[in-house]
A = this chain, B = another copy of it.
Amino acid sequence: MLKYEVIAADIQKSIEDGALKPNEKLPTVVELCELYGVSKITVRRAMEWLVENGLVASRRGSGTFVKKPITLPENPLVTGSNERAEGFSAQHYKHSERVTSKVYDFSVVTPPAHIAELLNIEPDDFAYYHCRVRLSDDVPIAIEYTYMPLDLIPGLKRQHLYGSVYRYLRDEIGLTLSSFHRAIRAVPATESEAERLDTEVGAPLLELEQVGYLDSGIPFEYSRSRNVGERYVLNNITLA
């Protein structure tokens, strides 16, 4: 664990267990430097992390203060975060839900031209294609349509689709996932989606269309996931 991570985690813990109360002033940057025996830039890193994650607000000239933690009402079944791309399994296991999948299609195809383009492969290159529905405690949450370049990923099997594909890529193949470009939309459920997701035709779905990149900058997936509107929320902190 890096030094700035230790500091940020400590402060986060103090806020979460109430040792630091909303609107309370944190120790000054200089004090924290002395406290942890680190340099100013390291404390700043920790502060930046806390600001980005919505825990504190810094005001030049006066100090850094604990924000009143707010959670917007979470009626729906399932909550995702848009800060980091974690994949469905990682997000849901946290809440000790039982995540399962129904696989509707798993094949090797030559993807449509615009998808080949996004994946940076030739029009006649092969890609895995799969369609699966993700369920949390047996309730269908989302349907995914995913393309992954064949050449990049040796040995993807149907069985992997029942668990976390990202875990397979990371732990078994040793790929390093680095970033995702996302477009977020609201779309109506098609007839087949309505059936597979146990909802109505035309029901609002939250669509996340994304291209995922390895740290090498190479795209490793094109994916469209459509989440049932009334069962899924995406949470997010944004800076002005």
Q: List residues of A whose CB falls within 8 A of some B CB.
A: 23, 41, 51, 54, 57, 59, 65-68, 70, 72-74, 76, 82-86, 114, 118, 120, 177-188, 202-207, 209-213, 215-217, 219, 227, 229-230, 232-240
Rounded to whole Å, the gap between the CB of A218 and the closest CB of chain B is 9
For A184, list chain B residues within 8 Å (CB): 82, 184, 206, 233-236
Asked if B240 and A177 sit within 8 Å, CB to CB, the answer is: yes
Residue contacts A-B, CB under 8 angstroms, 20 given: A41-B41, A72-B182, A72-B210, A82-B82, A82-B184, A82-B238, A83-B238, A84-B239, A178-B239, A179-B237, A179-B238, A180-B240, A181-B237, A182-B235, A182-B236, A183-B235, A184-B234, A184-B235, A186-B206, A206-B206
Rounded to whole Å, the gap between the CB of A210 and the closest CB of chain B is 8
> What residue of chain B has the Cβ atom nearest to residue A228's Cβ?
B186
Rounded to whole Å, the gap between the CB of A184 and the closest CB of chain B is 4
| 7 shortest interchain CB distances as A-B pairs | A186-B229, A204-B204, A186-B204, A186-B206, A186-B186, A184-B234, A177-B240
Rounded to whole Å, the gap between the CB of A167 and the closest CB of chain B is 12
Known: A180-B239, A186-B227. 15 other contacts (CB 8 A): A54-B179, A65-B217, A70-B181, A72-B209, A84-B239, A178-B239, A181-B236, A182-B237, A183-B233, A184-B206, A184-B236, A203-B204, A204-B205, A204-B229, A212-B240
For A212, list chain B residues within 8 Å (CB): 240
Cα(A179)–Cα(B120), bound, Å: 36
For A57, list chain B residues within 8 Å (CB): 178-179, 213, 215-217
Cα(A225)–Cα(B221), bound, Å: 31
